[in-house]
Chain A
Amino acid sequence: MTMLRPELRTIADWISAGSRILDLGCGDGTLLAHLRDSRQVSGYGLEIDQNKIVQAIARGVNVIQTDLDAGLTEFESNSFDYVVMSQTLQAVHYPDRLLEEMLRVGREGIITFPNFGHWSCRLQLLAGHMPVTPSLPNTWYNTPNIHLCTLRDFEALCTEKAFHILERTVVDRAHRTSLPMRLLPNLMGEVALYRFRRR
């Protein structure tokens, strides 16, 4: 069985056996292959990068070449139990619309993104620079990350859209959590994971 990066392990734990999932930006298909092998989960991955598509095909995963910015129009409403999007929200053109699309086609959404409210980002902004951190390693002019947000921003959007947050996990890059992260998640957390649904 493939080794999962810690973040995917948490996501996998949130997904019940035998369910149907759609993985937005599925990369090389690791998560889908793991869920298929360990809990009889079926579904599809969407990916735009040809090299990753080849890797996903090699894993025996169903992968559909798609530009997420074009929306999820090819999917019928309520056709999945979970729609997962890992480390991709910040790179799409219309994150708000895509979140709505996730909950149109799926019963629940699972999302992870780098927390722009982390203290190291704030310090660099205070010093007058766009943050460059281990979880956001690109400079402002060549980053794919065009819609960064903080935990508070994301939760505000969920309130506005009437999304109900079922679970939240805040971790560092090594996917550990700590007391400070639990007490001050928006300041101390590097990566945020949410499971949410429509109210």
Chain B
Amino acid sequence: MPDTLPADSVGLIKPQQLAFDIPLELDCGRSLPGFELVYETYGELNTDASNAILICHALSGDHHAAGYHSMEDRKPGWWESCIGPGKPIDTNHFFVVSANNLGGCKGSTGPMSINPAKNKPYGPDFPIVTVKDWVRSQARLADALGIDQWAAVIGGSLGGMQAMQWAIDFPQRLRHCVVIAAAPKLSAQNIGFNEVARQAIMSDPEFHQGHYYEHNVIPRRGLMLARMLGHITYLSDESMRSKFGRDLREGKLNFGFDVDFQVESYLRYQGQSFVEKFDANTYLLMTKALDYFDPAADYDNDLAQALSRAQAQFMVVSFTSDWRFAPKRSKEIVKALLDSQKNVSYAEIEAHHGHDAFLIPIPDYLEVFSTYMNRLKAGA
């Protein structure tokens, strides 16, 4: 972290917390007696509360989307590239809300929280939450903040899916819906990757059927493997090639099973550092929320029918080298919106970064995003 904060950053941010004590009915049939959400806000809410934007996070994201928590932070929030003064989500104009999802491990109620019924952490007993559950909980947050209607709900990847679900479940409560690098539901391949990640975690001897907190251990190896696998799916062949190629860490082959190639070293590092900051039970929950996401299922498996309820205007963005949620998946969303005669624009950004592109300040991407967001400022 530099001595001074960048001028286009929202600066030092303090997370906030809200407790909701009315029970929340969940899709799985269970309910939470109450719950807490940790969230951050950037910018100022205007007097008629018409400039609020909800940011929805992806699989391993959290409420810390922009700015810094302290001058010692090495890195800003996960979407610093797009949120801040003068950025696409311009905090000079908008009031931005970003919450940690239910089931998360960064402060919102989740597996690490105390289960009031048992006076110990939920662990694996935390109910499976869905994208719809998240949207319901976020609507409670909107109520508490006095926001009747979001100017926009915006998200990338799993966040884009929440934005879409918002438009379907609460059509009157958002004017714009920005869906980036998402899909209308997961493919068999997507679910396959998630299942391997879950198996890696659950087969770790230190998983203890999810009760590892009680044993004072964490399924380190399993979670690390899950993250390493996930990470490969976030990059593209091309970006891995240009980043690592076949570069050797020590300049020679070691004829052993330890790290030879830079890419191995990188993935191990990513996996190991992830273990320090993320909870395995939350990882399991998030992958299930992804697998279960299928907004068309409630509407005769017809996505157009599901989206026909929406009143928002849509902006859909995909990236050419994203193979996790490839452009053709975004086009399925666009087709459903066209079939239901919704206002929609779609851009397919040329980028070699793979799925991670939505986090990266790619000039074409920022230009499309900013241009669309400027339309909101003008009150369109």
B residues 314-344 with Cβ under 8 Å of A?
315, 331, 334-335, 338-339, 341, 343-344
Closest to A66 in B: B346
A38 contacts B by Cβ under 8 Å: no
- Contacts A62-B344, A65-B346: A57 and B375 contacting too (C-beta < 8 A)? yes
A75 contacts B by Cβ under 8 Å: yes
B377: shortest Cβ distance to chain A, in Å?
Answer: 12
B347 contacts A by Cβ under 8 Å: yes
Assess whether A74 is in contact with B338, with CB atoms less than 8 Å apart. yes
Assess whether B371 is in contact with A58, with CB atoms less than 8 Å apart. yes
A63 contacts B by Cβ under 8 Å: yes
A residues 70-86 with Cβ under 8 Å of B?
74-76, 79
* A154 contact set on B, CB distance < 8 A: none
**B368 in complex: contacting residue of A42, A53, A60, CB < 8 Å:** A53
B residues 322-380 with Cβ under 8 Å of A?
331, 334-335, 338-339, 341, 343-350, 364, 367-368, 371-372, 374-375, 380
Assess whether A65 is in contact with B371, with CB atoms less than 8 Å apart. no
CA distance A58 to B380 in the complex (A): 11
A35: shortest Cβ distance to chain B, in Å?
Answer: 15
A119: shortest Cβ distance to chain B, in Å?
Answer: 42
**B371 in complex: contacting residue of A54, A64, A76, A79, CB < 8 Å:** A54
B288: shortest Cβ distance to chain A, in Å?
Answer: 31
A94 contacts B by Cβ under 8 Å: no
CA distance A61 to B346 in the complex (A): 11
- Contacts A44-B338, A54-B371, A58-B371: A74 and B331 contacting too (C-beta < 8 A)? yes
A residues 129-152 with Cβ under 8 Å of B?
none
Assess whether B375 is in contact with A53, with CB atoms less than 8 Å apart. no
Assess whether B345 is in contact with A64, with CB atoms less than 8 Å apart. yes
A124 contacts B by Cβ under 8 Å: no
Assess whether A64 is in contact with B346, with CB atoms less than 8 Å apart. yes
A residues 6-61 with Cβ under 8 Å of B?
20, 42, 44, 50, 53-54, 56-58, 60-61
- Contacts A58-B375, A60-B380, A74-B335: A53 and B347 contacting too (C-beta < 8 A)? yes
* A76 contact set on B, CB distance < 8 A: 338-339
CA distance A50 to B368 in the complex (A): 8
CA distance A79 to B304 in the complex (A): 14
CA distance A187 to B338 in the complex (A): 41
* B315 contact set on A, CB distance < 8 A: 57
CA distance A42 to B368 in the complex (A): 22
- Contacts A65-B346, A76-B339: A54 and B380 contacting too (C-beta < 8 A)? no
CA distance A189 to B343 in the complex (A): 38
* A44 contact set on B, CB distance < 8 A: 338, 344
A113: shortest Cβ distance to chain B, in Å?
Answer: 26
Q: What per-residue 1/0 map shows which CB atoms of B115-137 lie under 8 Å from chain A?
A: 00000000000000000000000
Assess whether A57 is in contact with B364, with CB atoms less than 8 Å apart. no
* B364 contact set on A, CB distance < 8 A: 50
CA distance A57 to B364 in the complex (A): 13
Residue of B344, B348, B375 ringed by the most chain A CB atoms within 10 A? B348
Closest to A48 in B: B348
CA distance A143 to B347 in the complex (A): 26
CA distance A21 to B220 in the complex (A): 57
* B347 contact set on A, CB distance < 8 A: 50, 53, 57, 65
Residue of B331, B338, B341, B374 ringed by the most chain A CB atoms within 10 A? B338
Assess whether B338 is in contact with A75, with CB atoms less than 8 Å apart. yes
B286: shortest Cβ distance to chain A, in Å?
Answer: 30
* B339 contact set on A, CB distance < 8 A: 76, 79
B158: shortest Cβ distance to chain A, in Å?
Answer: 23
B341: shortest Cβ distance to chain A, in Å?
Answer: 8
**A62 in complex: contacting residue of B343, B367, B371, CB < 8 Å:** B343
Assess whether B375 is in contact with A64, with CB atoms less than 8 Å apart. no
B154: shortest Cβ distance to chain A, in Å?
Answer: 15
Assess whether B334 is in contact with A64, with CB atoms less than 8 Å apart. yes
Assess whether B374 is in contact with A62, with CB atoms less than 8 Å apart. no
Closest to B335 in A: A74
B103: shortest Cβ distance to chain A, in Å?
Answer: 35
Residue of A63, A65, A76 ringed by the most chain B CB atoms within 10 A? A65
CA distance A169 to B380 in the complex (A): 36
* A61 contact set on B, CB distance < 8 A: 345
B residues 255-296 with Cβ under 8 Å of A?
none
A53: shortest Cβ distance to chain B, in Å?
Answer: 6
* A75 contact set on B, CB distance < 8 A: 338
B290: shortest Cβ distance to chain A, in Å?
Answer: 25
Q: Shortest 3 CB-CB distances between A and B: which pairs?
A: A74-B335, A64-B346, A57-B371
List 9 additional A-B contacts (Cβ < 8 Å) besides A54-B367, A63-B346.
A50-B350, A50-B364, A57-B372, A58-B375, A60-B380, A64-B345, A64-B346, A65-B346, A76-B338
Interface residues of B (CB under 8 A from A): 315, 331, 334-335, 338-339, 341, 343-350, 364, 367-368, 371-372, 374-375, 380
12 CB < 8 A contacts A-B = A44-B338, A50-B347, A54-B367, A56-B345, A57-B345, A57-B372, A64-B346, A65-B347, A74-B334, A74-B338, A75-B338, A76-B338
Interface residues of A (CB under 8 A from B): 20, 42, 44, 50, 53-54, 56-58, 60-65, 74-76, 79
